[in-house]
Structure 1
Amino acid sequence: MSTGVEPTITLTDEGEWWVARDTETGVTSQGKTRSEALDNLDEALAGYHGDGREPTDEELRAAGIDPENNESESTDDSEIFN
């Protein structure tokens, strides 16, 4: 399904790193090669847009989160701003 929007990606050589940026979302990633930067941008965009599933316990641990102690609290604005 086409959204009618053409993605615009900038890719720049920053010395040791290639930087890839999606100009529509502002999501940016990097890699040692052009291909790695673009692959990393694809992964970052999937996270930005959400891939429709909860992370696995293994993915949470890889991100430094202990799944057994990971509890969601209310994010009701009245609790945040009081």
Structure 2
Amino acid sequence: MSTGREIRLIEEDDGWWSAIDEETGVASQGETREEALENLDEALSATAEAREADTPSTEPDAPWFEG
């Protein structure tokens, strides 16, 4: 079953894999291709939930963000 999504898999120099969803720009990584894709599925799900919640982001609580 195809979702019509374009996923880019990249083997990094350190042997880990990066998986990037081209449509959303969401990315993840893993020690194997399969793990990178599983982690990407989780990241996409979390991203979709956050977008559906549509709550404002919190203000940073770190001194280096103060102007």
Q: TM-score, normalised by structure 1?
A: 0.54
- Deviation readout 1:13-62 (Å, 9 max, x if unpaired): 003210000000000000000000000000000001118xx9xxxxxxxx
- Mapped to 2, the partners of 1:7 and 1:28 lie a distance apart of 13
Runs of 4 or more, structure 1, over 4 Å off, are: none
- Mapped to 2, the partners of 1:17 and 1:23 lie a distance apart of 19
Aligned length: 50
* Aligned-residue offset at 1:6: 1.6
Could you tell me which runs of 5 or more consecutive residues in structure 1 were left unpaired when the two chains were aligned: 55-74, 76-82
Aligned position for 1:18: 17
Q: Which has the larger radius of gyration?
A: 1
Taking the TM superposition and a 5 Å limit, the aligned residue runs for 1:1-82 are 6-15=4-13, 16-50=15-49
Q: Percent identity?
A: 53
Q: TM-score, normalised by structure 2?
A: 0.65
